[in-house]
Structure 1
Amino acid sequence: MSDAAAGPREWVPSPWIRRLTLAGFSLFVLLAAGSVQLSSMVGEAAGSLPPTPDVATLPVSAAVTDRNGQLLRAFTTRDGRWRLPVDRETVDPRYLDMLIAYEDRGFAGHHGIAWSSMARAAGQFVGAGGRVVSGGSTLTMQVARLVEGQPTRNLWGKLRQMVHADRLEQDLTKDEIIDLYLTLAPFGGNIEGVRAASLAYFGKEPGRLTTAEAALLVALPQSPEARRPDRDPEAARRSRDMVLDRLVAMGALPAEEALAAKDDPVPLVRREFPMFAPHLAEQAVKAQPEKREVALTIDRRLQEALERLAAGRARIVDPKVSIAIVAADIGTGDILASVGSAGLFATQSAGYVDMTTAIRSPGSTLKPLIYGLAFELGLAHPESLIEDRPTAFGAYVPVNFDGFSRGTVTIHDALTESLNIPAVVVLDAVGPARLVSRLRRAHADPRLPVNTAPSLAVGLGGVGITLRDLVATYAAIGNGGEPVTLHDGIVPAPEAGLAAPVLDPVAAWYVADILADVPPPLNGSPGRIAYKTGTSYGYRDAWAIGFDGKTVVGVWVGRPDGEPVPGLSGIVGAAPILFEAFDRLGDRRAPLPRAPSGAIIASNSELPTPLRRFRHPDEDMVARDAAPEIAYPGDGVDVDLGLATGFASPLMVKVRNGVPPFTYFANGAPIGRPDFARQNLWDPDGPGYVTLSVVDAAGRGDTVTVFLN
């Protein structure tokens, strides 16, 4: 681009005089050059101009921003250019002042053409024997060239540019012309517009620029390829300093400020554009392809922190392991962070897969809702006693994660220790269909096998669910039982209305109060948050979901392809990440809510008699005086203990029902009588058939015959 006119405000001719002068001036220049042609007529130039662009509909890169307007991710235009939406209100006024002072001091007063500059350019053209020395281009003329995308280093191009500038001044305001320049100006490579240039070269939005940065952005469009700082930093520095010197000479910049700016280094590399919440951003653009800018509910600061956390933790665990994190505001449902994977380009862990919406087994994470339903139905209190002992429900025989039973425990302890058997007993009482229904009230979408009804297996992970679903469920618990509609800004948030509660306020508080007592991982402190972990069958999914008084966070760890990860568990793999995520919330932390009216805070002995012990509505199924049964091994099975190898394992005999203590027998000989345990280890002498028997304290017994090898 050429140098601009300088000097005081000049006389502006009326429109009809301006057109006559333009035609006459053009004819004069052409005659002086000895090359008059019909094609140079002003009428022909005006008749072939493109439509005046509307900056509001100009094709630009789709931009996805966070709740504060900060850029999360941008996408190139269809022709592969970075041209981000921008206007003068979002650009540093220092840059705008320097741009106008350097390029076109008379911009505010002229109507597209600086006549004194054009006269000077014409004289130079004639004096140089028909060679263009300087173009005298105004900012409006430069916009005309950018709109057409045609070169102007020839007479016809310059004439056309002048005619086009006159048209732009008629059709647009000065502010609209500036906005077009800010959007279309070239800055090297596929970078167009000052916003894209500021992000590419300085790594920041153009709202606040240093003097040196502003000067470089003024200089680059004049020769964008030759002055690219990532290609020729010395040329970029010289052009920047030239702008600074000229501004000083014009009195538009203090000399000392320019001198200090010259000491600033020029950028040496072109930076990557931001790519935060990449999965969500892509969904946003696909959902609203017509929008130039989509604002999400994401908090970029938190999103960036949690993405770094996920990537760092995944590197420690296994390169094939991915991590997903969702954080949401309990009060509004705004999703504040959505980390879909440990890295979009992490090929070994399929980073392109958004695991926040992947359907997985939830493990034990639904237990809090199970107990919440029992509290709501008046079947139990956190201090109610319940039996943790092997219990069969037809062919379904749940066992605890560690294989051991604790006997009589409180429901508080059953939940904090995540015992499986009490949870299934309670689920059988409240009904798995009711559990699934309450999940749906929480705006979750549990997936059951086709054409099957909810079963007791749902309570221990026998259902498909997403991380977002679990976060919504726990948000409801943290919200006093009221459902929370999670939303991210891709579609408008639904209007608030009457909705069925997930739990009543007292039941929700009981659950939250118990979860606040769950022992934290090694990097956590007790009582900070209410949380629960879960591990799906086969060590395929590790979960940790928790909340405080303001925010709910969910973490998933595993392999996207569903393969097992030996040793992976919620408390080891996901809980530490959950606590670190809460550490990154900053001022969003809030204490857990206080007990609502109606909550009973009492020890077991102080409870009303019906609440002192959990009683299943069908006591015959789980009656404490039912005869004992050998739960393992089953009658007639073969048990491989490795007896033929010389490195045999002991046989574990497990009992359900009955009254402890139990006496265990092998082929009629006693092999153990633990006080209250419902299992006993025995080392057999060798392979072969063996008859195992057990007798409880009431003298009732059971017998099975198995083959050991």
Structure 2
Amino acid sequence: MTQSEDRPPHPTLRVYLSPERRGEEKRPASWARWLTIGGFSLFVVVVAGIIQLNSAIIGIAGTLPPTPDLATLPVSVSVTDRDGALLRPFTTRDGRWRLPVDRTGVDPRFIDMLIAYEDRSFAEHDGIAWSSMFRAAAQFIGAGGNVVSGGSTITMQVARLVEGAPTRNLWGKLRQMVHADRLEHELTKDQILDLYLTLAPYGGNIEGIRAASLAYFGKEPTRLTTAEAALLVALPQSPEARRPDRDPLAAQRSRDMVLDRLFALGALGEEEAIAAKREPVPIARREFPMLAAHMAQQAVRLQPTARSVELTIDKRLQDALERLAAGRARLLDPRVSVAIVAADIDTGEILASVGSAGLFATQSAGFVDMTTAIRSPGSTLKPLIYGLAFELGLAHPQSLIDDRPTAFGSYVPVNFDGFSRGTVTIHDALTESLNIPAVVVLDAVGPARLVSRLRRAYADPRLPVDTAPSLAVGLGGVGITLRDLVSVYAAIGNGGVPVQLHDGVRPVPAVTNSAPVLDPVSAWYVSDILADVPPPLNGSPGRIAYKTGTSYGYRDGWAIGFDGKTVIGVWVGRPDGAPVPGLSGIVGAAPILFEAFDRLGNRKAPLPRAPQGAIFASNTELPMPLRRFRHPNESIVARQAAPQIAFPTDGVDLDLGLASGYGAPLTVKVRNGVPPFTYFANGAPIGRPDFARQSAWAPDGPGYVTLSVVDAEGRGDTVTVFLN
């Protein structure tokens, strides 16, 4: 070389030559060394004769292990997505990463470089390249008895890998040659090459080119750069000494040696070789893919003997939603987890399943799959309640309903904010998620019917043991999973037709639910109302139909929605069931839901159009029976409980500003009972409004006051409060 080799301006190509051609003086050989050389040469000749005659003469053939079959060779179980992309591999039982691979899954350029470097006569020889063996012997002699190359073919290397025994002695070499001869007779060249690609060692517990490419480059070996391919050719020759994660310089030298030799052989152009040398080698191992970790683990558990398990997951969407869940969880609380399920409405295929905000997130119990955890659904069942009322002909979205304090025996539902809206439409009652109207409607349609329709939607609601469904079910008094809720909303988005979610592993029963969850018109009414639910700050109105929910004690935040093609459900909370102050569906889960829909890409689709039979009308244009929601047993509902003063409650102190002389009037509110009501303050009547459930009264001054109310049937209630 004419340039200084102390610090060359660019990578150089060194063609490795024999000592004679480098002008080096050969060392004199001792008699012992010459005897060794002669012995090795004689060994080569003898081996040739043995194999040509019959290898069984020396008993080797009978002790060889059976020829491996790639179809049964122990490999890492690979869980893939719907298109065959790797989601998560698992190590073999002995802890090795050995992913199934064949030549069709490897860059052809690597195959060419491997054969050119390791075994140029691979296609012609019968397992042993005698020219290479004699060349190795000549190099042995020329190097003064030092091994320069072993002369092993790819077939011989496969034989060594199958046996797992060293071949640094004459007997081991002989056994390897006999084994190679057998492999050539029992396998095709392609099968031998596939075995090499699967078994070649790459350092540590990495075996096979696929595992090596993922570990060192973070990608499948289908497309490799010249530098990457050269490194993967070099590593199996001395995998521990050349591991790039332990000795990057040794890895680089071995890679460059391969590039130099390929250039010398004419298998690589000079410019390509020089450019490849400039590419840095990896300095650390990468983590193997671990997408859909919970679902993948469950799938492998269900198919313990499978070598590869294909899920319905979309890898791109799964990766995007896992990143979304992890990022949002970090902003909320380190103890909070996030779960997301996305499914195709038409087929029920689960496109993404994020079980937690991170499998190894210890503070949020990331190992727990919250897509299948039984939790309280909060208000997320209200759409189905109203859908049943539409189906039974009890209501229309524009029907009026009273949002007033109401008790059902000992069960007294209240709205989330504690306030009543008076008379509202069913549409507004659902978009504002009012509790009292939902319970009134549920009492009309029946809790048992609601639970039955949930089961039609392939959900599995969990009730307390030996109890019948009660009105509390409508506001979250039932156990259900995120996957079940997604199934329920998929049915609503599918025009009421049940959709059974599946992941491609669990068999779908041949007998499916034929009974609809809702009729098409009722399902569309619900969808149309949910499309009007105000979106969070990061969302646009009308894009999706969705509903939020918050369980009792701020333990679970939900947001479930769908467009014309996809349904997505989001859960936020602590896996241990502890309360999260301030957590709600609209604040915690809804923003994640809308971001999830943003990541659908070309799967976005508009909401379905109204089916035939849908009524478009204002309240005044509706038939008279539909203008106001009426409970089928309204007289029973009205009379089932005595009147109760809802506000103010007994024993409270109220600051009305009376001490300043400009006190505000006191409004007394009543729930239950039969109107009209008569109101009293310290025994004196203060009002008897027609059918109104509240009355305003201006106190004379501060002090204690006893408030009473009596309904039309003479039942009453009394509270004592202090006014100031």
**By the TM > 0.5 criterion, same fold?**
yes
Letter in 2 for 1:486: L
Report deviation, 1:422.
Answer: 0.7
Deviation at 1:119? 2.0
What is residue 443 of structure 1 aligned with on the other side? 458
Q: Equivalent residue for 2:716?
A: 702
Tell me: CA distance 1:391–1:280, structure 2 relative to 1, closer, same or farther (3 Å).
same
- 1:405-461 C-alpha deviation (Å, 9 max, x unpaired): 111111000000001111111111111101000000000000000000001110000
After superposition, the Cα gap between the structure-2 partners of 1:673 and 1:82, relative to the gap in structure 1 and judged at 3 Å, is farther
Equivalent position of 2:43 in the other structure: 29
Q: CA deviation at 1:69?
A: 1.4
Alignment of 1:476-555 (within 5 A): 476-495=491-510, 499-555=514-570
Give the superposition deviation at 1:316. 1.2
Match of 2:24 in 1: none
* Deviation of 1:605 (Å): 1.0
Residues 133, 150 of structure 2: 8 Å contact kept? yes
CA distance in 1, matches of 2:567, 2:623: 34
The change in CA–CA distance for 1:692 and 1:257 in structure 2 (over 3 A counts) is: same
Is 1:143 equivalent to 2:182 in the alignment? no
Match status 1:616 vs 2:631: yes
The 2-side partners of 1:104 and 1:41 are apart by 27
- TM-superposition CA deviations, 1:63-113 (whole Å, max 9, x none): 111112111111111111111111111111111111111111111111111
Do the aligned partners of 1:297 and 1:336 also contact (CA within 8 Å) in 2? yes
Q: Does 1:163 align with 2:178?
A: yes
Match in the other structure for 1:364: 379
Give the Å deviation of 1:476. Answer: 0.4
Rounded Cα–Cα distance in structure 2 between residues aligned with 1:683 and 1:274: 71
SS in 1 for 2:480: coil
Letter in 1 for 2:117: Y
- Relative to structure 1, the CA distance from residue 443 to residue 685 in structure 2 (aligned partners, 3 Å threshold; closer, same or farther) is farther
Residue deviations 1:380-411 (CA, integer Å, cap 9, x gap): 11011111111121111111111111111110
Q: Contact (CA 8 Å) 1:389, 1:678: kept in 2 or not? A: no
Deviates more, 1:57-66 or 1:362-371: 57-66
Question: 1:582–1:168: structure 2 CA closer, same or farther, 3 Å change rule?
Answer: same
- C-alpha change, 1:586 and 1:140, in structure 2 (3 Å) is same
Report the aligned-residue RMSD: 3.2
More displaced 10-residue stretch of structure 1: 654-663 or 377-386 = 654-663
- Name the structure 2 match of 1:302: 317
The one-letter code matched in structure 1 to 2:433 is S
Q: How does 1:77-476 map to 2 (within 5 A)?
A: 77-125=92-140, 132-476=147-491
Mapped to 2, the partners of 1:320 and 1:495 lie a distance apart of 42
1:594 corresponding residue in structure 2: 609
- Shift in CA distance, 315/654, structure 1 to aligned 2, threshold 3 Å: farther
1:496 deviates by: 7.6
- CA-CA distance at 1:44 after TM superposition: 2.2
The 8 Å contact of residues 674 and 680 in structure 1, kept in 2 or not, is answered as no
2:82 to 52, 64, 67: 67
Instruction: Indicate how the Cα distance of structure 1 residues 247 and 129 shifts in structure 2: closer, same or farther if over 3 A, else same.
Output: closer
Q: Confirm or deny: 8 A CA contact 1:658 1:700 kept in the other structure.
A: no
The alignment partner of 1:326 has SS state of strand
Match of 1:581 in 2: 596
- The alpha carbon displacement at 1:666 in A equals 4.3
Change (3 A) 1:389 1:254: same
Aligned-residue offset at 1:372: 0.4
SS of residue paired to 2:60 = helix
Change (3 A) 1:496 1:550: farther
Q: Deviations over 1:634-658 (max 9, x none)?
A: 7xx766999xxxxxxx999641146
User: What is aligned with 1:8?
Assistant: none
Q: Secondary structure at the match of 1:113?
A: coil
Q: 2: CA distance between counterparts of 1:209 and 1:461? A: 54
Cα distance in 2 for residues equivalent to 1:680 and 1:58: 84
The amino acid across from 1:28 in the alignment is: L
Per-residue CA deviation, residues 315-361 of structure 1 (Å, 9 max, x unaligned), is 11111111111011111111111111111111111111000000000
Contact 2:198 2:209 in 1 (8 A): yes
CA distance in 2, matches of 1:682, 1:189: 85
Whether the 8 Å CA contact 2:44–2:133 is kept in 1: the answer is no
Amino-acid identity (%)? 80
Question: Cα 1:641–1:310, aligned 2, differ >3 Å: closer, same or farther?
Answer: farther
Equivalent position SS for 2:522 = helix
Change (3 A) 1:423 1:242: same
Aligned CA distance change for structure 1 residues 625 and 319 (closer, same or farther; 3 Å)? closer
In structure 2, stretches of 5+ residues that fail to align are 1-15, 17-38, 656-664
Deviations 1:7-42 (A, max 9, x none): xxxxxxxxxxxxxxxxxx999318999xx9xxx985
* TM-score, normalization by structure 1: 0.88
TM-score w.r.t. length of structure 2? 0.87
Matched to 1:469, the amino acid is: D
